[in-house]
Amino acid sequence: MSTGAKMPENKLKITPAKGRPMLQWVGKKPLDYVKGFPAQIVEVFDPTTRLSLRGEAEAISYNELKDNWHNLLFHGDNKDVLATLLELGFRGKIDLIYIDPPFKSGADYVRKVELRGLKNLGRIEEDEASILQQTMYFDIWNNDTYLQFMYERLMLLKELLNETGSIYVHIDHRVNSYIRLMLDEIFGAENFQREIIWRLGWVSGYKSTAKNWIRNHETILFYVKSKESFIFNKDYVPYPPDYERWGGRPKGKGLPIEDVWGVFPQEGVTSLQVVSYSSDLTDFRTQKPRGLLKRIIKASSNEDEIVLDCFIGSGTTAIAAQELNRRWIGCDINKGAIHLTSRELQKIISEQIKKKETNYHTFAIYKVNNYDLQLLRTEAIELAVQHIGIQRTRTDRFFDGTLGKNLVKIIDFNHPLTLLDLQLLKDELKKRPDEDRDITIVCLGKELAADSWIDEWNKKHPVNKIKIIELKTDKKYGSFLIHKPAEAKIKVLRSAQNDKLARIEIKNFISPTIVERLNIDNKLFKVKIPDFRSMIDTVLIDNNYDGKTFHIIYSDVPEKKDDLVKGEYEIEIQKSKIKVAVKIIDMLGEEVINVFEVS
Ligand SMILES: C[S@@+](CC[C@H](N)C(=O)[O-])C[C@H]1O[C@@H](n2cnc3c(N)ncnc32)[C@H](O)[C@@H]1O
């Protein structure tokens, strides 16, 4: 399809949305084109070393990948990642998409991170003192920003989906009606297939006290690229034991699966739609059951096809796809989520290899743009406040505080200052006609258009003048972003008895951020960490490090929260001089790499 406009160089064209019905919001803009980014390989899990990615620094194209596949996990904003996939030749190559985006739920999701093994060590009661809080992602968004955010992602996803492909969008009552209209607009109302009701489970406690029908479901909207050619593997569940129809007990495959799923109380009546829960729950709050994803993947894709989830969270979609022998691509903006996903997959693939169950042993983690700061966002905002000297006003629901005589608005560090942010500021000031203070906006970076908007605004307004502190470039204030990294003391030696083995011993590990966070959370007493390994989540080892990409040939990922990493390892190495790299990931997802030359 052509819009007639000439495409600027290097830009990847996006086909316009299909058309009516349409939803409007402030700041709605079509996504005419996007640009890809280089995707750097940061880690490879390649335990059988069947596929060699050694020497590769960047993601390779779909054409190079298709006959020599490894699965892909991207750390970055999915808008950038999806654009990068288009650039790599994935247009029309994805068979199934499932997404479970943030819901505008008004909650900020906090992943509770516990130190390992404190219970067993018996020195500290396992209580709140051991819990670090790491914000997984903020979910409090303005409606318009949210809608534009989803619009752009859905447009990109449609480009990636192939003609036989399907997309499932998991949402709740807050955004249901908006997203349905948006999907109609992008994919075409004729390609809507089903609205699946996902019943959440047993209701008890606070939730059941509402003076109302008890809310207990989410919605999964199922659309296809083309209603003529989509894949669907119809599935059945066995007839319940007492099931009869006017023909007595029917023969056949069983009852076809309907569009209401979940866990139901009346065993035998509606239990046919039950998706089994497995005991795979991590501490990720919005984790979906693996069984749910398996049902979707089995129905809407075949083995070896490509499944994509660009809000991967704790990795459920990738894990279900891996277990069902599909190829997969995952993405998340949050480093903690990438670690969690990677950690779980390493366990599963190692088991699959033992049982010879999979064709796909290898996955690589790529970084698209740099989102490391995301991890430390709560900390960064707190530090920004302290460093700049902002007086926090927690009672104001829009402004974050004051600086001298100015009101301060801190823009979330996960995006640059945009025109939408400025529009919101303008709307807010309109509601406060008596407000005569000037405004300081603190942001990490800014969109180009922001400057001229502000110039224009300042010309027109004798009061409420806007000033920006852009932390990325600010000489005075930018320096606080330098963060005290975690450090490890490790000893690596070739074994005296066997020159094909190296002995690795972690002697000490300290994460200033963890210690600081524990002390902030527990102002009354200083927390003592009895064993440095409590701070370590995972240890990864590469026995032939090339200086760029980390190839995981050994991973120590303790099964239970109360188990500590071993801390001492013996691994095979080449006889010649070689570089061994040890990566330690701490309980906040921060990582340290130490490299050793072993002669
Ligand atoms: C509701 S959770 C997904 C949970 C997942 N289905 C599971 O079972 O664990 C949404 C995820 O989207 C991620 N996310 C939010 N905005 C994103 C963005 N712009 N790009 C990539 N990931 C994003 C969040 O970090 C979070 O992990």
Mean pLDDT of 181-201: 93
Amino acid 116: pLDDT = 79
For the chain, give the percent of residues with pLDDT over 70.
81
462 has pLDDT over 60: yes
Burial state string for 516-537 with b = 16 or more CB within 10 A and e = fewer than 16? ebbeeeeeeeeeebebbbbbbb
C-beta of residue 76 within 8 angstroms of C-beta of residue 368: yes
Mapped onto helix, strand or coil, the DSSP state of residue 496 is coil
- Give the H or E element holding residue 431: none
C-beta of residue 540 within 8 angstroms of C-beta of residue 510: no
C-beta of residue 380 within 8 angstroms of C-beta of residue 481: yes
519 has pLDDT over 80: no
Fold of 487-598: Immunoglobulin-like (2.60.40)
Place of tokens 């859905």: 154
CA distance 486 to 132: 16
Amino acid 212: pLDDT = 93
**For atom 5 of ligand 1, which residue has the closest CA?**
313
**Beta strand pairing status for 255-256 and 39-45?**
unpaired
278 has pLDDT over 80: no
Amino acid 73: pLDDT = 97
Mean pLDDT of 57-81: 91
300 has pLDDT over 60: yes
- CB 176: neighbour CB atoms within 10 A? 16
What lies within 8 Å, CB to CB, of 56 at 6+ separation is 41, 549
Residue 109 Cα to ligand 1 midpoint, Å, equals 11
Amino acid 237: pLDDT = 82
112 has pLDDT over 80: no
Amino acid 593: pLDDT = 94
For residue 521, name the pLDDT band (cuts at 50, 70, 90): low
Mean pLDDT of 61-90: 94
The atom of ligand 1 lying closest to the CA of 282 is 9
Amino acid 489: pLDDT = 96
277 has pLDDT over 70: no
Mutating to test ligand 1, I would choose from 137, 169, 218, 367 the residue with most ligand atoms within 8 A of its C-beta, which is 137
Mutating to test ligand 1, I would choose from 286, 297, 311 the residue with most ligand atoms within 8 A of its C-beta, which is 311
C-beta of residue 148 within 8 angstroms of C-beta of residue 10: no
C-beta of residue 283 within 8 angstroms of C-beta of residue 304: no
CA distance 114 to 407: 37
Mean pLDDT of 311-328: 95
Report the sign of the C-alpha dihedral through residues 326, 327, 332, 334, in that order: positive
C-beta of residue 300 within 8 angstroms of C-beta of residue 96: yes
123 has pLDDT over 50: no
Q: How far is CA 279 from CA 294, 311, 411, in A?
A: 15, 22, 39
CA distance 344 to 592: 20
DSSP 460: H
For residue 558, name the pLDDT band (cuts at 50, 70, 90): confident
Amino acid 264: pLDDT = 60
Mean pLDDT of 175-203: 92
Q: Which amino acid is at 194?
A: R
| Segments of the chain assigned to CATH 3.40.50.150 | 12-104+141-373
Amino acid 129: pLDDT = 44
Q: What angle do CA 393, 394, 397 make, to 5 degrees?
A: 100
CA distance 407 to 503: 57
Most confident of 181-195, 478-492, 523-537: 181-195
Residue 309 Cα to ligand 1 midpoint, Å, equals 9
Mapped onto helix, strand or coil, the DSSP state of residue 299 is helix
- CB 280: neighbour CB atoms within 10 A? 16
CA distance 540 to 538: 7
263 has pLDDT over 70: no
Mean pLDDT of 19-24: 82
Amino acid 110: pLDDT = 47
Q: What is the CA radius of gyration of the chain?
A: 26
The DSSP line for 202-269 is: ---GGGGG-SSSPP-EEEEEEEES-TTT------EEPPPTT--BTTBSPPSS-EEP-SEEB--SSTTT
Mutating to test ligand 1, I would choose from 332, 365, 370 the residue with most ligand atoms within 8 A of its C-beta, which is 332
Amino acid 267: pLDDT = 45
Mean pLDDT of 21-25: 86
Looking at the DSSP bridge assignments, the partners of residue 172 are none
51 has pLDDT over 80: no
Mutating to test ligand 1, I would choose from 333, 368, 369 the residue with most ligand atoms within 8 A of its C-beta, which is 333
Q: What angle do CA 272, 306, 342 make, to 5 degrees?
A: 85
Amino acid 297: pLDDT = 97
**For atom 26 of ligand 1, which residue has the closest CA?**
313
Mean pLDDT of 541-552: 88
Amino acid 415: pLDDT = 74
Mean pLDDT taken over the chain: 83
**For atom 22 of ligand 1, which residue has the closest CA?**
332
Place of tokens 């120590």: 556
Amino acid 280: pLDDT = 54
C-beta of residue 72 within 8 angstroms of C-beta of residue 329: yes
Amino acid 411: pLDDT = 86
Nearest to residue 536, comparing CAs of 514, 504, 518, 505? 514
Q: List residues near ligand 1 (CB under 6 A).
A: 77-78, 100, 102, 136-137, 284, 286-288, 310-311, 313-314, 316, 331-334, 337
Q: Tens of pLDDT along 576-597? A: 899 999 999 988 778 899 999 9
Q: Tens of pLDDT along 471-505? A: 877 766 655 555 678 899 999 999 988 989 999 99
Amino acid 113: pLDDT = 55
Lowest mean pLDDT among 130-144, 344-358, 398-412, 546-560: 130-144
Mean pLDDT of 540-562: 86
Correct CATH for 12-104+141-373 of 3.40.50.2000, 3.40.50.150, 3.20.20.140, 1.10.10.60:
3.40.50.150
373 has pLDDT over 50: no
CA distance 165 to 301: 8
Mean pLDDT of 195-203: 85
Q: Tens of pLDDT along 136-169? A: 555 555 677 788 889 999 999 999 999 999 999 9
**For atom 4 of ligand 1, which residue has the closest CA?**
313
Residue 338 Cα to ligand 1 midpoint, Å, equals 10
| Segments of the chain assigned to CATH 2.60.40.730 | 487-598
82 has pLDDT over 90: yes
Q: Tens of pLDDT along 394-438? A: 677 789 889 999 999 988 776 788 888 999 999 999 999 999 999
Indicate whether this model's pTM tops 0.95: no
Mapped onto helix, strand or coil, the DSSP state of residue 316 is helix
Amino acid 379: pLDDT = 58
For residue 109, name the pLDDT band (cuts at 50, 70, 90): very low
40 has pLDDT over 60: yes
Amino acid 286: pLDDT = 76
Q: Could you write out the three-class secondary structure of 372-430?
A: HHHHCHHHHHHHHHHHHCCEECCCCCCCCEEECCEEEEECCCCCCECHHHHHHHHHHHH
271 has pLDDT over 60: no
